[in-house]
Amino acid sequence: MGRLTWFAASAIFLVGGSASLATPLFAAPTSGPGNDQTAPTKSGNLQEDSRLALIRYVDGEFVKVVAPLPAGKSGFHIKAGAPLDVRALQTVLQGHDAAANPGDKVQITKLQFKERQIAVQINGGGNKGNSWRDHLQVGVMGIPQVGVTDPDAVAAEFTPGATIYLDFDRPLPDMSPDELKKYLSVMLDFGNQHSAAVQWVETLRPAVQKAIADKRALPGMSRDEVIAALGKPDHKVRETQPDGTEVEDWIYGNPPGKTVFVSFDGDTVLRVEEFP
């Protein structure tokens, strides 16, 4: 499907209400990976850009355990903003071994967002399989993560998994990465460590780092770098140029609103166009 065909089909959808060509995967991420994770959050429910910021700054991080983490599929529930329920934790530990004990270093390997809850998987989660590292190798939002030769990563891979369920008494509120870390601090100590995604971005060229911080794509960027800047595209289309070159367009937004086309030749951005 070519770009003009996609525009026409999108216009029909907007006017007539028929099914869209593809369901958007991710919205554009929040402000880029600097040191500011403490900006005041917006009121209301969790925003898409905030959710992506939580994934970028929290998912993949290594932390120290401050309270025993029960193993098993049931995990352990903590209430957002409330002190740790020590009695409930002791009761759960009577029926399950501890996956990790105070002082152990573990890795957050996945965040799952539900209506009133965030499930935080530790070392692959309580239902741990053999392939949890695949989640990190593919990367947070497609960003490559620390290699398997990292001693902390290797140690975490062979440590039993656990799941912490962070419960809210209402739909998930908007929050910053630091606020999520504070909620989890009754069981996990984040210290001053950066997430693996932030560490990766800090290795990139200064111009690319700035583009990611500004949430924009540049010619010459790789696919991973574009995902770090804009998130995954709402749509993808391929078209063949007159010279036979096949170009893939990543499309962000829907007409008649702001729509950004990021055109790739292989893994490299050829051009970036914005409409209107």
**Whole-angstrom distance, CA of residue 98 vs CA of residue 238:** 50
- Backbone dihedral region of 218: left (phi > 0), alpha (psi from -120 to 50 degrees) or beta? beta
84 and 157 in a common domain: yes
pLDDT of residue 96: 80
What's the pTM value of the predicted model, to 2 decimals?
0.55
Q: Do both 53 and 157 map to the same domain?
A: yes
Same domain, 109 and 19: no
What burial class does residue 161 get, using C-beta atoms within 10 Å of its C-beta: 0-12 exposed, 13-18 middle, 19+ buried? Answer: buried
- What's the chain's average pLDDT? 78
What integer is the mean pLDDT of 92-101?
90
* Domain extent for 186: 48-201
- For residue 45, what are its two tokens? 């429910």
* Domain termination site, one of 201, 229, 259: 201
Show the beta-strand stretches assigned E in 116-234.
117-122, 162-167, 188-189
Per-residue pLDDT, 192: 62
Query: How does pLDDT run across 11-55, given as a tens digit for each residue?
Result: 544 333 333 333 332 333 333 333 344 433 445 899 988 888 898
Residue 31 lies in a domain: no
pLDDT in tens, 157-172: 556 899 999 999 999 9
Q: Based on the domain organization, do 270 and 177 belong to the same domain?
A: no
Provide the number of structural domains found in the chain. Answer: 2
Lowest mean pLDDT among 51-55, 76-80, 209-213: 51-55
pLDDT band at 117 (very low <50, low <70, confident <90, very high): very high
As a whole number of Å, the CA-based R_g of the chain is 21
What local confidence, expressed as pLDDT, does residue 68 receive?
94
For residues 8 and 109, state if they share a domain. Answer: no
The two structure tokens encoding residue 132: 């949890």
Q: Is 236 among the domain residues?
A: yes
The enclosing H or E element of 123 equals none
